C-alpha cells in the first residue's frame, strides 16, 4: 500500500459540521514524508478542528482521512496514535500530578506490551526488561527536549514553556511518523521560540514529519516546507512560504481588504 | 490467643481493607462507584451458595464469587465510557439497588429470609492472606505499564487517548477487577457472618466503602487501606469511653473533622 508516492497523510474532501455551521468544509490536504507542513489561518479558521479530525477526536461529517494510504476515517484516537499520528494540544494537556518522567513513560504505552497479568507476574520492586527500556527511552527524550533536570517534578508544576516541551517529549515517546503540533510556541519568549524551531527541524531531519499550526509567523515562514492557509473552514491557499506570503487572498484574510488592495 | 472480640474487629478490618482496595482500583482511573455493595453481594451469595448448598471447597467458592462479581463488573463498566463523574456515581448506586432487590426476590438463595448455615471458613489467617494478596495486586499494578495508563486516564482522558491508550480496555478492565475484589470481600464476609440477607449489602454498605477510600486518599492504595482501618476501628475505640449512645455521632463528627483538616485524604496527594 504505502509507496513513496503515497502521502503520509491525506485528507479528501474533509468536512465537519456542528449543527448548521461547517467548521471545516471540503478540505483536501496532502502531507508528504519528511516535511514540515504548516496549517495557518486566522482564529476560528478551523485549524484545531482539522487536528481533531485527523487524530480521531472528532469523526468527520464527510470525507476521508488516509494514513499511509489506509482509510482511518472514524477510527478511535488510540488506533490513530498506533498508526503513528500523535498530537499535542493548544492548551497543553499533560497528566499534572504525574512526574515529567512518568508523563513520557505513559507515551510509550502504544509501543510496548503487557497488561494486568504482566504487571502481576513481575517480581515486586524489580523493573522488567520492557520497563527498563521504557525508562531509558523516556530519559533520552527528556534530555532531547532539555528537561532532564526536571524529570522528577510534577508536570503541573513546570513552567509553561517546559510543559509544552514535555508534551512534545510525550508525543515523541509514541514514535510518531507524523507529529501534530497545535500552537507549540504560544507563550514562549523569543529565545525559547528559536530553540523550539531548531528542535522541530532536527526532528524532521531524523524522519518525523510535522504538521504545525502556529500564529508565530516568522517561525512558520522559517521552518516550513509547505504551508496551507485556511479561512472560514476552507483552504484558501497552499504552497511554499514565499508563494503563500505573496498570495492576495492570504493577505486579505489576515489584514483585511484595504491592505490587499 | 486473641479474645473473640479483638479477633472479630481484626477480621472485619481485613475484610474492609479488601473492599476498600476493590473500590480504589476504579477510583484510580477516575471512576467513582457507589455500587460496591452490589458486587460484594454477588460475591457473597455466589460463594455462600457454593459452599452451603453444593459443598464446594471454600477457596474455590471464594474465587468463583470473585469471578462472578468481576464478570458483572465488566458489563457495568461499559457505560462508564460515556457516563462520567457524579452521573457514574448515580448509575452505580442504581446498580447496587438492583442487585439488592434481585437477591430480595431470588428464591434459590433464600430471598428476603436470607441464606444461613454458611460454614465459618473466614479465619484471621485467611483474611490476612487475602489482604496481603490484594495489596500485592495494587502494588504490582502501580508503576507498571498498565498502572501508568490507569493514572493517565484519571488525569486526562483525552490526552491519554490521543497518545494511544485504549480507554475502553483500561476503564472496563479496572472496573471489572475492582468488582472481582469486592466479590472476594463479599465471600469472606459471608463466611464470617454465617448468615447473609440482602439488607447487609445495601446503599449503607456501598457508602461505607466509599467513605474509606475518600477518607484515606483517593490517589493511593495505602490510603484506601488506612481509610478502611480507621473506619472500622475508630467506632470500636469509641466504645471505650462512657458515651456509648453518642458513639456514632462522635464518629461522624471525627470524619467531618478529618475531611476539613485533610480534604485530600489521610495519605492522599494534595492537588
Domain count within chain B: 1
Q: What is the pTM of this model?
A: 0.89
Q: Say if the Cβ atoms of A97 and B159 lie within 8 Å.
A: no
Mean pLDDT of chain A: 91
Residue A89 resides in a domain: no
Residue B88 resides in a domain: yes
Least confident range from A110-114, B39-43, B131-135: namely A110-114
pLDDT at site B270? 59
Do both A101 and A167 map to the same domain?
A: yes
pLDDT for residue B47 is more than 60? yes
Mean pLDDT of B104-131: 93
pLDDT at site B240? 78
pLDDT at site B94? 95
* Domain C-terminal end among A132, A153, A173: A173
pLDDT at site B74? 95
Q: In chain B, which residues have their Cβ closer than 8 Å to the Cβ of A87?
A: 162
Residue A3 resides in a domain: yes
pLDDT for residue A258 is more than 70? no
Do both A19 and A48 map to the same domain?
A: yes
* Domain C-terminal end among A125, A140, A173: A173
Structural domain including B22 reads 4-261
Q: What is the ipTM of this complex?
A: 0.89
Selected residue with higher pLDDT from B6 and A261: B6
Q: Say if the Cβ atoms of A95 and B159 lie within 8 Å.
A: yes
Do both A162 and A133 map to the same domain?
A: yes
Residue B60 resides in a domain: yes
CATH of the domain at A211: 3.40.50.300
| CB contact A81 to B (< 8 Å) | yes
| Secondary structure of chain B in HEC code, one letter for each residue | CCCHHHHHHHHHHHHHHHHHHHHHHHHHCCCCCCCHHHHHHHHHHHHHHHHHCCCCCHHHHHHHHHHHHHHHHHHHHHHHHCCCHHHHHHHHHHHHHHHHHHHHHCHHHCHHHCECCCCCCCCHHHHHHHHHHHHHHHHHHCCCHHHHHHHHHHHCHHHHHHCCCCHHHHHHHHHHHHHHHHHHHHHHHHHHHCCECHHHHCHHHHHHHHHHHHHHCCCCHHHHHHHHHHHHHHHHHHHHCCCHHHHHHHHHHHHHHHHHHCCCCCCCCCC
Residue B168 resides in a domain: yes
The number of C-beta contacts closer than 8 angstroms across A and B is: 110
pLDDT for residue A77 is more than 70? yes
pLDDT at site B248? 83
Instruction: Give the three-state DSSP class for A112.
Output: coil
Q: Say if the Cβ atoms of B147 and A81 lie within 8 Å.
A: no
pLDDT for residue B209 is more than 90? yes
Domain count within chain A: 2
Which of B164, B170, B175, B179 to substitute to test the interface with A, most A CBs within 10 Å?
A: B164
Residue A91 resides in a domain: no
Mean pLDDT of A92-118: 91
Residue B185 resides in a domain: yes
Mean pLDDT of B8-36: 95
Q: Which residue(s) pair with A99 in the sheet?
A: A154
Q: Which residue(s) pair with A29 in the sheet?
A: A11
Mean pLDDT of chain B: 92
Return d(Cα A139, Cα B262) in angstroms, integer.
Answer: 34
How far B28 CA sits from the closest chain A CA (Å)? Answer: 12
* Domain C-terminal end among A150, A173, A196: A173
CATH of the domain at B35: 1.10.3470
Do both A27 and A148 map to the same domain?
A: no
Residue B73 resides in a domain: yes
pLDDT at site A261? 44
Do both A184 and A75 map to the same domain?
A: yes
Selected residue with higher pLDDT from A89 and B84: A89
Selected residue with higher pLDDT from A124 and A52: A52
pLDDT for residue B271 is more than 60? no
pLDDT at site B119? 93
Q: What's the distance, CA A155 to chain centroid?
A: 19
Structural domain including A21 reads 1-84+176-261
Q: Please name the member of B136, B155, B161 whose beta carbon is closest to the beta carbon of A78.
A: B161
Amino acid at each position: 500500500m504505502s509507496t513513496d508516492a503515497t502521502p503520509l497523510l491525506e485528507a479528501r474532501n474533509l468536512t465537519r459540521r456542528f449543527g448548521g455551521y461547517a467548521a471545516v468544509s471540503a478540505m483536501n490536504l496532502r502531507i508528504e514524508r519528511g516535511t514540515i507542513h504548516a496549517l495557518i489561518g486566522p482564529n476560528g479558521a478551523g485549524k484545531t478542528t482539522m487536528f481533531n479530525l485527523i487524530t480521531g477526536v472528532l469523526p468527520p461529517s464527510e470525507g476521508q482521512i488516509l494514513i499511509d494510504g489506509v482509510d482511518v476515517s472514524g477510527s478511535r484516537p488510540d488506533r490513530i496514535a498506533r498508526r503513528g499520528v500523535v498530537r499535542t494540544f493548544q492548551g497543553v494537556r499533560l497528566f499534572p500530578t504525574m512526574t515529567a518522567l512518568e508523563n513520557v513513560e505513559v507515551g510509550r504505552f502504544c509501543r510496548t506490551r503487557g497488561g494486568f497479568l504482566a504487571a502481576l507476574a513481575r517480581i515486586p520492586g524489580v523493573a522488567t526488561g520492557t520497563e527498563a527500556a521504557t525508562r531509558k527511552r523516556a530519559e533520552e527524550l527528556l534530555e532531547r527536549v532539555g528537561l532532564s533536570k526536571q524529570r522528577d517534578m510534577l508536570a503541573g508544576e513546570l513552567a509553561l514553556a517546559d510543559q509544552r516541551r514535555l508534551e512534545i517529549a510525550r508525543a515523541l515517546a509514541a514514535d510518531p511518523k507524523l507529529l501534530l503540533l497545535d500552537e507549540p510556541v504560544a507563550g514562549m519568549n523569543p529565545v525559547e521560540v528559536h530553540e523550539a524551531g531548531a528542535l522541530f527541524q532536527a526532528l524532521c531531519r531524523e524522519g518525523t514529519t510535522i504538521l504545525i499550526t502556529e500564529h508565530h509567523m516568522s517561525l512558520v515562514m522559517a521552518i516550513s516546507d509547505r504551508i496551507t492557509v485556511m479561512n472560514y473552514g476552507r483552504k484558501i491557499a497552499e504552497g511554499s512560504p514565499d508563494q503563500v506570503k505573496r498570495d492576495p487572498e492570504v493577505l486579505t484574510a489576515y489584514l483585511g481588504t484595504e491592505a490587499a488592495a | 490467643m486473641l479474645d473473640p472480640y479483638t479477633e472479630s474487629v481484626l477480621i472485619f478490618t481485613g475484610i474492609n481493607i479488601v473492599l476498600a482496595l476493590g473500590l480504589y482500583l476504579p477510583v484510580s482511573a477516575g471512576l467513582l462507584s457507589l455500587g460496591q455493595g452490589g458486587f460484594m453481594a454477588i460475591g457473597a451469595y455466589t460463594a455462600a451458595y457454593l459452599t452451603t448448598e453444593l459443598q464446594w471447597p471454600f477457596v474455590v467458592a471464594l474465587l468463583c464469587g470473585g469471578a462472578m462479581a468481576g464478570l458483572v463488573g465488566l458489563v457495568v463498566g461499559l457505560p462508564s465510557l460515556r457516563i462520567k463523574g457524579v452521573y457514574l456515581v448515580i448509575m452505580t448506586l442504581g446498580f447496587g439497588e438492583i442487585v439488592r432487590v434481585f437477591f430480595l426476590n431470588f428464591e434459590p438463595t433464600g430471598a428476603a429470609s436470607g441464606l444461613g448455615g454458611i460454614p465459618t471458613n473466614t479465619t484471621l489467617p485467611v483474611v490476612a492472606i487475602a489482604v496481603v494478596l490484594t495489596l500485592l495486586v495494587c502494588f504490582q499494578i502501580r508503576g507498571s505499564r498498565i498502572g501508568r495508563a490507569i493514572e493517565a486516564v484519571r488525569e486526562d482522558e483525552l490526552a491519554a487517548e490521543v497518545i494511544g491508550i485504549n480507554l475502553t480496555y483500561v476503564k472496563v478492565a479496572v472496573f471489572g477487577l475492582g468488582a472481582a475484589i469486592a466479590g472476594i470481600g463479599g465471600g469472606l464476609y459471608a463466611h464470617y457472618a454465617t448468615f447473609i440477607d440482602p439488607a447487609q449489602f445495601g446503599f449503607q454498605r456501598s457508602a461505607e466503602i466509599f467513605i474509606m477510600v475518600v477518607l484515606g486518599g483517593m490517589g493511593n492504595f495505602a490510603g484506601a487501606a488506612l481509610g478502611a482501618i480507621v473506619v472500622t476501628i475508630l467506632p470500636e475505640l469509641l466504645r471505650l469511653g462512657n458515651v456509648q449512645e453518642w458513639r456514632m455521632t462522635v464518629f461522624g463528627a471525627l470524619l467531618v473533622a478529618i475531611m476539613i483538616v485533610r480534604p485530600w485524604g489521610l495519605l492522599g496527594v494534595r492537588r
